[in-house]
Amino acid sequence: MGYYVSDRQVLASAMERSLYRPLRIEIEGCRRTDEILAPGHPLYLSLCTVCTLENVTEHPVTYPVFPTGCMTLAFRERNGEQQNWLCGPADEIRKTVLLPGDQLLVLEFMPGSNTAFLRCAVSDLTNRCADITQMIRNGSRLKKIAERDIPVSLKALLMSRVLRVESFERESDYLIHFCTEEILRAGGAIKISELAKKAGFTERYISQIFGRHIGLSPKTYAEIIRLQTSLGNVLAADGQKGQAAKKSLLEIAVENGYFDHAHMNRAYQRFLHCSSGVLRRKGLAAIDMDDVKEILEQGKES
């Protein structure tokens, strides 16, 4: 079903769920458990990730957080105390350090789907995080739900009733959905001028909408999607992902819309602070996590 919001383009219904799923990372010593949302779940259309991270070792574990273009709710339990954050989209790699016994509940929202419950523009949270009670309507209720000793699936359900993420059928809702899906279908390899032509709006207007609802420019968001698309192949190990592990970096670069290997390397240096070649050889150990900023720094620019 389509909705005419422009005389030049039929935009896809915002009620169609995005296929976007950020790259899933496994770290030794950190148990990750993903919660699968059923189609009838109130946040089924809005969430792309619901998971818990738990440090199961006797020493601190550093978990890398790659750029995704998403806004995230994070609830951490440490030594019996609950800490809560609303994290905006980041345009470079971040990390979170889990101490022994730490448990972290993560709710990652589809880009552009979370403006209804915010007290600010998404751009106000780009590259920073804040207390949920300050930035989210009924944030204190979310905090109380996170503190309850109940299954993650039930926490997500109760939180969804508080958040009440709804589509108000505004033109911007459908435009954001259409543009993000076009970028996703292209694997991030799309010019913004081409995107504007398909949507039937000016590049300037699309940039304004992205800034207000996603917190990133459409160009940066597309580059992050291209990074996410290529990372799975670059990190593929022999015997794990078949042909992906056998592809050369040049093949991976070209298949993901980069001009050449050097072009892909510049993107990796910008977003991940390391080259794709070193990342393929050493895995996540190639990233100097000591130089990566902590994502959960409440109320601070990062």
pLDDT at 53 over 80: yes
> pLDDT value at position 16?
72
Quickly count: other Cβ atoms within 10 Å of residue 120's Cβ: 14
pLDDT at 171 over 90: no
pLDDT at 175 over 70: yes
Average confidence score pLDDT of the chain: 85
- Range in 157-166, 175-184, 280-289 with the lowest mean pLDDT: 157-166
Tokens of 275: 């080259």
The pTM score is 0.86
Which amino acid is present at 160?
S
pLDDT tens for residues 59-114? 999 999 999 999 999 999 998 888 899 999 999 999 999 999 999 999 999 988 76
Instruction: List phi, psi (to 5°) of 49.
Output: -145, 130
SS3 130: strand
- Range in 118-127, 133-142, 182-191, 290-299 with the lowest mean pLDDT: 290-299
> pLDDT value at position 64?
95
> pLDDT value at position 174?
82
| CA dihedral for 224, 268, 302, 21, sign (positive or negative) | positive
Query: Are 253 and 264 a contacting pair, CB within 8 Å?
Result: yes
pLDDT at 300 over 50: no
